[in-house]
Structure 1
Amino acid sequence: VRQHLSSLEALKMPVEHWDVILVCILTKKLDFHTHKAYELEKTKTELPTVENFLDIVERQCSALVMVAHSTHSNQNKQKQRTFTHVTSEFSNTHFEHKCEFGSNKKHSIYQCPKFKAYTVEQRQEFVTKNGLCYNCIKKGHSTNQCKSSNCRVCDKRHHTYLHKPTSNIQGVSTNTSESKSDTAGNATVLHTNNTNNVQVLLPTAQINVVTANGKFIRARALLDSGSQTSFITTKLFKQTDLRAYNQNIQVLGLSSNPIQVTKMVDIKIQSRITDFTAKLSCAILDSITADLPHYPVNTNKFTIPDYIALADPEYHTPTQVDILIGGDLFFEIMSFKSKQLGNNLPFLQDTKLGYIVTGKAPTSYSHQVRALCSTSTRDVDEIISRFWKLEEVTSNTNSIHFRNPKERLCEKSFVENTSLSNGHFTVRLPFIDDTARSLLGGSFNMALRRFYSLERRLLKDEKLQLEYKKFIHEYISLGHAKYSNLDLSIFKNDNTDGYFLPHHPVIRESSLTTKLRVVFDASLKTTSGYSLNDILLTGPTVQPELFDKLCRFRTHKYVITADIEKMYRGIKVADQDTDLQRILWRDNPNDPLQCITLVTVTYGTSAAPFLATRSLVKLADDYATDYPLASNALRQDTYVD
């Protein structure tokens, strides 16, 4: 239980608020006598805690072990009575649940913050002076009689809090020659001076990855409960022929610079041994870590039964890692069945992928113990160059800077296809290429399911329902959308004609103009695996940096701020592209479904920010002669977040 809670805590889950629920679940797993002992001992005036529960159960287990030992002993009756007396004294002492450190709190000494604040030498002196067991820091028995486990660091007969480190840290090495050739940048390696023949195996499994055409690729996965994201190597991603999508993720390692990941892919994995399958969203990296394990394992030191189906039959051979399965799937894979093969030998842990081999393992190589932080570091010149780029203040605010050919293509599409008529700009949606529309599959059935979910939500909240209806009706009355007389039945077979946008409400109490905003989801994947946003260009940044605006803002004695209401909806979309902006709607569940076509730039499409800000720039350029002050304000003092 403590191990799982520690893993969840590492994932920043609020485990400190779960005590009451967890205790309720755990007590249902107890047998009658243990449950009775817990109910008799627990504090009646305070809410139950997991630590208190586990402490009581552990003491009950220790008492039962000692009583069983007493029953089967061949000692004479006098010794039995003496032993029983000691056991009783041990039980009574521990069931008082009073801190031996002198604190008024009812907790074990190793939970006492005052005791934890002591140095190792001070703790050892306190334990010796007060006659406590050196192995569990409790009264009532000697260290030789203690049934508690050994030190978790060195496996000797003393408590972990009394362990005094003996290894001498020599320093940190960033020698690139010691890092694997397939890792990017420099790897940080921490060396200690104790040389041994033991290494720690990380849990790995061989799995099947489903490709775009339904075939299987064998891949090696590392199971890591401490990672919030799953990862896949670029090499394996290319072999699957799956489509990646844009997603900015900042990956942080141990004391390292952040790594920016911009692509993700949704994959499906399958166990080689069981019928377990799962879907996984993976960030794409060139390399995840070095080959694991670092050294070949000496399998002659232990025996794994033949009937054990191993998740990774090659666990003992240094091999490349293709996938890292993070905490999003880790606990779904794991089970509670495990077995240690012996002292200083690995564990066999049952999972839905087969048995994994993890923990301490012997190696035939005598080596220095090392901890490898498998995160890349940027070159110093690159970091300095990036710093100056960030600090540079753009002097020419009337220019548009293009970072890649796609941004130039987006600008070209705007210039060639934008017109001004009746006080409104009309724009085309900027596609990645001329054949982009053919990539879209059917979206109607998925949008329909999302609408039914929205409808159920609105029926539960009358106020929200009224606001939502008002929003839709206003959208149509202002000419920003129109009803389309379409036979929706033709789309039930996922007709690829057009695109349907799911929509949902977002409440913004801080907004001065629009409290309720309806967000349209243009990232909905169609049956082909592509969404509308996947085939649209996002365009370059056409407005000056916020830093420039703030500097100019402070030069004025008086300033006025204003908000352009319904800015996106002031720009019309060309008729040939509006079929990609359809939504489903009806005022009441008893009414037939209707199709509404949005005819203006829509919030939620990836091209919307560029089209809006670029239209402002064009407006400023077109009327710079007639309205120079307004043109300058639009150019330099307008910001869209």
Structure 2
Amino acid sequence: MFRDAVNLTNEAPRIKLYHLEKALVGDAMGLIDVKTISDGNYEHAWKLLEERFEDKRRMIDIHIAGLLGTKKIPKDDYADLRTLVETITGHVKNLKFLNQQFTGVSELIVVHLVARSLDATTKKEWESTIKRGELPTYENTITFLKDRVSVLERCQSSNEESRSLRGTAKQLTGKSAVSKANTATASSTSDPHCEMCGERHPTFKCSSFNSLSTSERLSKVEERNICFNCLRRGHSVKNCPSKKSCFRCNKKHHTLLHLEGNASSTRPSSESSEEKHSQSNPNSAIGIPGSSKAPVSNKKPETQPLVTVVHTNNPMNLASQVILLTALVQVDDQHQRSRLCKALLDCGSQVSFVTQSLVATLGIEVEEVSVPITGIGNVRSTIKQKCTINVRSRCNDYSFLVNCLVSPKITGRIPSVKINLDNWELPQGLKLADPSFHEPSQIDLLIGMDWFYDIMKPGCLKLNDDLPSLHDSQLGWLVGGKLLERSCSNFAMNSCAVSVDPMEELMHKFWEVESVSPEMVPSSEKEQCEAHFTATYRRDDSGRFILHLPLKDNATRSTSMMTPLEY
């Protein structure tokens, strides 16, 4: 789409490059180096992206694996059948787009994979459309399945509406509708219908919903009057048929709605209106943190305990996260060309690290080593390779050569979730070392204590009490420190502190293992016993050893003592 929109225009290459850089997302963001941008070299930037991401073989393998990985549909459900059709047609279209022939055997293989995934009833209906002796075609099979989806959707939707109406009628007459509500909900859960945007996917997979902060998600759920636990309509949390609960606290609410002890936004409802509110809001009984209508109660429940909203001044109950120091730096490959990568500055590491993928991308030479390292919890491992990388700042002419140990992976994505910068007031005119510090991304390089303080400068700016600080460095202004935020409960903790075992200690342990204790030194008496055994032993027909007992020189010898013994 970008090529259709931009490449065919008469814009200058520098303008095209500007639009291209702004359009990059995910791992591609920041891939274009500063020199290419400053030179306005649009063609070179496009070539870099093609070399990195236009791996035709990998894309074909992904789509073939997707076709082979289709699972069997357990019953004739229109939602599952629609998902199967969309999956199959999507992979086939992409393979055709990659100029792969789809005729003959390849078409029959795909038809076989589709038929293998169908439920028993649908497969019988499909088989009845094929005449004896004829080979099924892909187009006819997909057409049949699309028609089948339409039929099942009309029939199943009518059944669901009937069950829902019967349940409502019983509820109005005062009869219990819990069983019917659960049945209707169970039937509707097979339809991946998003309660937020209306698209065909589960609510918890909605990209617009996931992009919100936790408090904003809570407001959306409450506004649409849907269940706080399964994120679907038609029932209360108390009657939610889902057996799942929050992965973080095991309480009856969805993990996306979890807040760590945050009750500042909770407004308790009056006791007199609690029963009425419970009927109008299906989530009122849960006491979900952050819900503006959740009641706060100090009474002990007689049945299953609820999630309690607690007001406290203890700062440890506030959601907090430490932002680590990251920077975008330029590194040189084997041809002295500049490439952009993300580095983590860690003063808790005695050595620097680089990922195997970055070393492969740079094409630089590595040296075989055997370096033992120790991490958190005294976990030990051994690094087998090292290399030297030329690192240059994006902000000035500062550069340095860093010796790195090569590791398959340094740490997880940092930060683990995207940080909302709406309430941040970053000073104008400051050159950030990592403009995308708030977006999760992979770490390619870890700069340890060997260069940490050489890079840092004395300047420091504090944004406010709830935000991290800005630290001046040779690589630009680094963002790091404690972040107090209501929506950072989904953060994962990262720690990269490692140490190298001293060579003297390792050699000392080696010699301790290899040394021979005084008790192990053979004495002359032991040597005599061994010589006596060698000279006198023999084996009989049954395999037994027969030998004479050894006697000391000052012992009294007798005939009986020289009798051979059998063992």
TM-score, normalised by the number of residues in structure 1: 0.29
TM-score, normalised by the number of residues in structure 2: 0.33
Q: Which has the larger radius of gyration?
A: 2
Q: By percentage of residues, which structure has more helix?
A: 2
Q: By percentage of residues, which structure has more strand?
A: 1
